[in-house]
Every structure is written in structure tokens, then in C-alpha cells.
Amino acid sequence: RIVYVNGDYVPEDEAKVSIFDRGFLMADGVYEVTSVLGGKLIDFDGHAKRLERSLTELDMAMPMSADDLLAIHRELVAKNGIDEGMIYLQVTRGAPGDRDFAFPPEDTPLTVVLFTHNKPGLADSPVAKQGIKVISIEDIRWGRRDIKTVQLLYPSMGKMMAKKAGVDDAWMVEDGAVTEGTSNNAYIVKNGTIITRQLSTDILHGITRAAVLRFAAEAQMKVEERPFTIEEAQNADEAFITSASTFVMPVVEVDGATVGTGRPGPVAARLREIYLEESRNAAI
Ligand code: PMP
């Protein structure tokens, strides 16, 4: 696999980043994951805008223009022959000589790394036809979940708690309400209304979420943006998650309770179909 590191395209085993990199030492960095369908990028503009926002919130500047980032994404897709999969992009506050809690001088070059993840069959996932199962865990992450930082230890532990419990993922709960999944936004459907938590610093502002809510509105589906509880999810007609790597993925079990019929529901199935079709058409 050819990867990108600070201006160079190199085989992955030749890519080097300093041990003093603040991403490595302090999780001082942000990332984006963009999906690729038919060799084209899904929602690249949304990801580039959110990257800029994450960087700005942490007093970092865009390391290059969105157009230059797009060119690198395309080059990596081409070099690695990706038809379906993902591209991961990470920007960290670079590698000043010494470890110091204070930020280094602003002219310290940021570290920019991109790599592809080849996933043939991503869109036609058999999992989407079955749905996934989730457990709930307490959300003990920091208070700026709207910034897409590489501090992913707790979500990673959450995923392991889910695996140990024999399910696929965990929904995090704070003050009695679901915030989001370990790496996705969470939704329920009740009496035809799609319910998902409103945007705030409590959750990541999913790029897939924005697109799905737009398509839902265009299809005259009712959407309510508010927090919901695990009990509501267990009593919902349907549940699902969204993310760049899963698109719209039905959830059929929450903390051991079957949601709806225990099979993917019509709203989630329809939204997945619309999302994939519209996104393919708009891919660049
Ligand atoms: N919430 C969290 C915590 C995530 O990590 C992700 C995916 N990275 C999402 C939501 C979904 O965001 P997107 O649709 O932009 O992939």
C-alpha cells in the first residue's frame, strides 16, 4: 500500500513519523475518514470543512488548501486502485524537539498522514441486511466531542466491551440519554418519526448524519432532533446508526432487547438506499 506522509507518497513500511510527534505523545491531533465508492470520494467537501473546524477549535491551521487535500485523496485512491473503501487523514500538531504540555511555536510544521483502506463490498454489506446489536455504556469522554480528535481510547474500550458482551457496538449514555455510538451517530424511529440527538459539543457532527437528515427531509420524513433514552430505543419501531464507513446501518437489539421486529426496518432500509444512491451520484 502506498501512503502519504508530509508531502511524500511512499510504501507503508517506509513511512516515518517522529517519536516526538504530539499525536503520538498527547493525542494532539484530528482526523477524518472519507468513504470511496466507485473510486470516487463521498462527501469530500463536508469532511474538509469539518477538518478545518476541528483544527481551528484546537488553534491549528489547515496544513494546505481543501483542493490540495482533495488532490492527495484522489492520488492515493488511484495509486492503490481503490474502488470501495475508506481514506483516513490525520493532522497532528507536529514534532517539536521536546515533550512539553504547552503548544509549540505556531511555525512548527503539522504532521499530515493519509492512508487508504481497501474494502470491496462496503456498500453491499451483508451486515446491513441483518442489522447490528448494541449495548449501552456510560459516556465518560471529554466535553468537546464535536472536535474529531485522535483521543479514541474510550471509544476503543467501548468497542471491546461490546465484543465481550457478544454484540457489535456500544451506545454511550450521559445523564440518562444516548449521546452516540463509539464511532457513529445514533437514531431511533417511532411512529414514522426519526429521532436523533441535536448537535452540540456532546456529539460529533457526523457528515453522514447531515446528509441523511437532508435526504429524510427531502423524502418528507419527519425528523425530531432531541436526546432519547435506552428505554425509548428498546421500545422504538426501528433503530440505526450512521457513519462514513457504515452509511446507514440498522440496529436490531439494544441491551438485549429486540428493537421492532428484530429485522432491519423500512425507514432505515429506505434511508440506506437513498443515501447510497444520492452519494454515488454526488461523489467526486
Ligand atoms: N460519532 C463519532 C464518535 C464518530 O467517531 C463518528 C465517525 N468518525 C461519527 C459519529 C460519524 O461521523 P461521520 O458520519 O462523519 O463519519
Contact, 65 vs 115, CB < 8 A? no
CATH of 127-282, one of 3.20.10.10, 3.40.50.720, 3.40.50.300, 3.60.15.10: 3.20.10.10
Domain regions of the chain by residue span: 2-118, 127-282
Cα(33) to ligand 1 centroid in Å equals 9
C-alpha cell at 197: 440527538
Q: Name the residue with the closest Cα to ligand 1, atom 12.
A: 206
Where the chain has pLDDT below 50, the residues are none
Q: What does the block give as the cell for 87?
A: 481514506
Nearest CA to ligand 1 atom 10: 184
Report the DSSP beta bridge partners of residue 173.
138, 178
Q: Give me 82's grid cell.
A: 481503490
pLDDT in tens, 207-239: 999 999 999 999 999 999 999 999 999 999 999
Rounded CA gap, 40 and 2, in Å?
A: 18
Q: Cα of 78 to ligand 1 centre, how many Å?
A: 25
| pLDDT at residue 37, as a whole number | 98
Are 187 and 213 spatial neighbours (Cβ–Cβ below 8 Å)? no
Q: What is the pLDDT of residue 68?
A: 98
- What is 2-118's CATH number? 3.30.470.10
Residue 208 Cα: closest atom of ligand 1:
14
Q: What is the pLDDT of residue 18?
A: 97
For ligand 1, the distance from its centroid to the CA atom of residue 183, given in whole angstroms, is 5
Cα angle, residue 241 at apex, residues 263 and 121 outer, rounded to 5°: 75
Nearest to 253, CA basis, from 151, 166, 173: 166
Structure confidence at residue 97 (pLDDT): 84
280's CB contacts (< 8 A; 6+ apart) are 37, 38, 40, 42
Beta strands in the chain, from DSSP E residues, in sequence order: 2-5, 8-11, 29-37, 40-41, 85-92, 111-118, 132-138, 169-174, 177-181, 185-190, 193-196, 222-225, 238-243, 247-254, 257-258
Q: What is the pTM of this model?
A: 0.97
Question: Catalytic positions, please?
Answer: 148
Domains 2-118 and 127-282 share a fold: no
- From residue 257, give the alpha-carbon distance in Å to each of 163, 230, 235, 253: 17, 10, 9, 5
